[in-house]
Amino acid sequence: MSETLISKPQMTGGAVKSTPWYQSRRARNIIHALIVYALILPGACVFILPLLWMISTALKPSNEIFVYPPQWLPSSPQWNNFSEGWTAYLNFNRMFMNTLIITVNNVIGNLFSCCLAAYGFARLRAPGKNFFFALVLATMLLPVEVTIIPQYVLFTKLGWNNTWRPLMVPPWFGWPFFIFLLRQFFMSIPMDLDEAARLDGASSWRILWSILLPLVRPALATVVIFAFIGNWNNFLGPLIYIRSVDKQVLAVGLNMFRGQYGQVDFHYMMAVALIVLLPVLLIFFFGQRLFVQGIALTGIKG
């Protein structure tokens, strides 16, 4: 890093003459870069290969799946694998809609409850605030396994078994990690803004909505992406609570599909898995820039 950043004025000009070419700054930079690429590129290939292999398998005709040595590309891409796998065994359309409804609800619920709480912890002065914030941090350490069993009992007693309510209600009541993340962002904005607005007669909610939220867009994007991916991939919740196939979500459906076709029809499985993965990939690529900023900040301050 230092070699690419520092260029000392005295090295340019006459000094180069006395050193052999391979010790000149330019040559050393090139050698340095080559070494870095030699180390990083093979790893990058290994990291991207599984996803490419997934796409390739999804497009293969069934007689090219179990070929050894593996065939890198299908002889002719079978685009109808997607529609055949999607409709072969389960009503994936229905499950896709179910997953989408639950996920969108949960993202909005998390945004609402976590923005409010984070705003309180970061910007409003009140007695007991530090105590409650310590509770936020403490619950972050508590493994979900401790609460999942009593929650199951609670929701069963409420008659919520085999409904979406155990999945869709809790997100409206906050999530410690997001509260912590948003609080860190709110803290980084000068307090003078709030004070000035308050003296001008703005309410707390007006300050949050019109002044602060527009300033923390990267954090909001981070929460949206994390919440979307987490809920879209949620497997254990639906597995425990939902019995009827027509209420089921994609993650569990995909696992049922694996149980049925798991030994043979890998082209169908990869095709369906790709469709399931697609919304996650899309949201990542559209939000990537904001997202990486967001995690970087919590990473440092965490």
- Using CB under 8 A as the criterion, what x/- string covers residues 96-125 for binding other proteins? ----------------xxx-xx-xxx--xx
Report, in Å, the least distance between residue 28 CB and other proteins.
Answer: 12
Give the distance, in angstroms, between the CA of residue 180 and the centroid of all CA atoms in the same chain: 17
Report, in Å, the least distance between residue 205 CB and other proteins.
Answer: 8
Site for other proteins, residues 18 to 47, rule: CB under 8 A:
32-33, 36-37, 39-41, 43-44, 47
- For residues 70 and 52, is the Cβ–Cβ distance under 8 A? no
Q: Is 243 in the site for other proteins (CB under 8 A)?
A: no
Among 215, 236, 245, 282, binds other proteins (CB under 8 A): 236
Question: Rounded to whole angstroms, how far apart are CA atoms 142 and 237?
Answer: 17
Q: CA torsion 60→63→65→66, rounded to 10°? A: -170
- Using CB under 8 A as the criterion, what x/- string covers residues 132-171 for binding other proteins? x--xx--x-xxxxxxxxxxxxxx-x-------------x-
Among 11, 24, 25, 65, binds other proteins (CB under 8 A): 65
Q: Is 255 in the site for other proteins (CB under 8 A)?
A: yes
Q: Is 9 in the site for other proteins (CB under 8 A)?
A: no
Question: Rounded to whole angstroms, how far apart are CA atoms 82 and 23?
Answer: 56
Q: Is 296 in the site for other proteins (CB under 8 A)?
A: yes
Question: Rounded to whole angstroms, how far apart are CA atoms 220 and 141?
Answer: 23
DSSP string covering 159-210: T-TTSSHHHHSGGGG--HHHHHHHHHHHHTS-THHHHHHHHTT--HHHIIII
Q: Is 213 in the site for other proteins (CB under 8 A)?
A: no
Residue with tokens 């078994």: 161
